[in-house]
């Protein structure tokens, strides 16, 4: 379906059974980041992720990448998530949301700034404006040309980093985020006391079928 995610269904245990009779069924996916559970809630889904706090770094260590990503826009802070190998660039609070939504990133030039495998994606984020409706706590965009994804439309795993970062900055455990790619997507975040984060979003059914195991 022209998406960057792929899932395979398999019967892990011979005695496993599959049913759609549960009111709120939970599916568990085995991923490289560990088990990922997804629970249906009304017209949306809640994903259970581990938190991935980023670490503040010296912008000079990534100056070519930052320049390719945001040009001359003012940058407030640069961080790196060592668990996921993603670079996080926070635009200055003086920037209007249009600075992020209208940003044209040359992903070929961005990819050429880093060939050593230090990181796999660049996340650009900025604080939400209280004057906008709905009141998003923060915005973001994701660029992963190193993995053949010029721009990811909505990235759940990024919000394990963004949720951790913005929760500390805003002093909030529940946040509403918006990834402002051309397709765009709204995410509801809730940090839990066990060091994990719930990421929820709306979904619609676009394909139905039968899988025989």
User: Residues 101, 95: contact at Cβ < 8 Å?
Assistant: no
DSSP, collapsed to helix, strand or coil, labels residue 109 as helix
User: Residues 87, 125: contact at Cβ < 8 Å?
Assistant: no
What whole-number distance in Å separates Cα of residue 177 and Cα of residue 138?
A: 5
The residues, any chain, with a CB within 8 Å of residue 48's CB and separated by 6 or more, are 36, 37, 38, 39, 196, 197, 198
Our answer to whether residue 5 is catalytic in this structure is yes
Query: What number of other Cβ atoms are within 10 A of residue 140's Cβ?
Result: 26
Catalytic residue, from 5, 21, 42, 43: name it: 5
Selection from 103, 142, 96 nearest residue 122 by Cα: 142
Burial class (CB in 10 A: 0-12, 13-18, 19+), 188: middle
Residue positions annotated with a catalytic role: 5
């Amino acid at each position: 379906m022209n998406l960057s995610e792929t899932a395979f269904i398999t019967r892990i245990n011979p005695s496993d059974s599959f049913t759609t009779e549960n009111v709120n069924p939970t599916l568990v996916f085995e991923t490289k980041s560990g088990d990922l559970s997804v629970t249906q809630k009304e017209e949306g889904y809640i994903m259970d992720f581990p938190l991935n706090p980023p670490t503040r770094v010296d912008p000079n260590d990534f100056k070519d990448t930052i320049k390719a990503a945001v040009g001359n826009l003012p940058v407030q802070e640069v961080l790196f998530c060592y668990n996921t190998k993603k670079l996080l660039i926070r635009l200055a609070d003086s920037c209007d949301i249009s600075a992020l939504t209208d940003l044209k990133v040359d992903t070929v030039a961005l990819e050429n700034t880093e060939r050593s495998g230090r990181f796999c994606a660049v996340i650009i984020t900025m604080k939400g404006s209280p004057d906008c409706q709905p009141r998003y706590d923060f915005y973001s965009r994701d660029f992963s040309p190193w993995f053949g994804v010029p721009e990811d439309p909505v990235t759940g795993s990024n919000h394990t980093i963004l949720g951790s970062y913005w929760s500390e900055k805003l002093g909030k455990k529940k946040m509403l985020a918006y990834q402002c790619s051309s397709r765009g997507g709204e995410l509801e975040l809730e940090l839990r006391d066990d060091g994990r984060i719930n990421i929820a979003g709306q979904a619609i059914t676009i394909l139905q079928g039968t899988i025989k195991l």
